[in-house]
Amino acid sequence: MPAKGINFPVINTVRWWTLRKSFKRTIPDTVTTGYLSSVLNVTLESAQNIISPLKKIGLIDNDGKPTELAKEWRDDEQYASVCEKIRQAIYPSELLAAFPDADASREKVERWFANKTALGTSQVRSMASFYLLLSEADPTKQDSPTPPTKSTQPTKTASLRTKPPTVKIKTQAEKEASNGTVATAVLEPEVKPNAARVNGYGFGPSLHIDIQIHIAPDATAEQIDQIFASLSKHLYKGNDVHE
């Protein structure tokens, strides 16, 4: 049965490195909730929850003043020995003997904490993470990139290739004969911005036109000729249109 009330100090990995960087720059006279809130960019309530673990692992005393251990903690050459001192001070010998270094299975370390405490999965994972952080004792990890705390959605950018707009123009030609024969022209220009052709005035976009002509079955040859003559007159006039 897990023993109720057993708890081990936990400090978030990102906060651990952030606080160490701040200590390397300047050691504060007193570590207060206001100091932690500013350095770690957390609320005062969250900062208050960090004070107790810092006291338990010996980086600050009961008055919040940094200890000699905290000064050694800043030094890369002494960092590993400081982590070992913390491990020896707060963890039982059976844990240290079973998992002496960072190569230990995280799953097994979590199981140990779960069996020794009456805490939930999230807290057990945090305890195991902090134990493995101390076991690793690698100061170079301070400069390792940390994952973003908030998920971000990729920004949608406009495609370099835009689909040419399709323009549909429907025109009704005049009645070509007294029997009501009607010619309907459906124009669907396809504008291609990247395509160019030479005309009388230099370069310009190409234009593709599809024409549909509906002619009554009883239209005479003369009426059909008139339809095409009208189309030729209105669609292909001018010198700068080439087929």
CB atoms within 10 A of CB 93: 8
Whole-angstrom Cα distance, residue 209 to residue 187? 6
- pLDDT attached to residue 169: 45
CB of 195 closer than 8 Å to CB of 206: yes
Question: What is the rounded radius of gyration, in angstroms, for the C-alpha atoms of the chain?
Answer: 40
Q: Give the H or E element holding residue 125.
A: helix 121-136
- Summarize pLDDT for 55-102 with one digit per residue, the tens: 999 999 999 999 999 999 999 999 999 999 999 999 999 999 999 998
Nearest to 101 by CA among 136, 153, 138: 136
Q: Which two tokens stand for residue 199?
A: 């005309």
CA angle, residues 60, 66, 72, in degrees to nearest 5: 105
Please tell me what DSSP assigns to residue 147. Answer: P
- pLDDT attached to residue 166: 47
Amino acid at 25: R
Ranges of each domain in the chain:
13-143, 169-235
- pLDDT attached to residue 12: 95
Q: Give the H or E element holding residue 110.
A: helix 106-116
Torsional sign, CA 33, 37, 38, 40: positive
Low-confidence ranges of the chain (pLDDT < 70): 1-5, 144-211, 214, 217, 234-243
- Summarize pLDDT for 101-116 with one digit per residue, the tens: 989 999 999 999 999 9
- Residue the block writes with tokens 């980086």: 59
Task: Classify each residue of 211-221 as buried b or exposed e, where b means 16 or more C-beta atoms within 10 Å of its C-beta.
Answer: eeeeeeeebee
Whole-angstrom Cα distance, residue 53 to residue 152? 31
Q: What is the pTM of this model?
A: 0.58
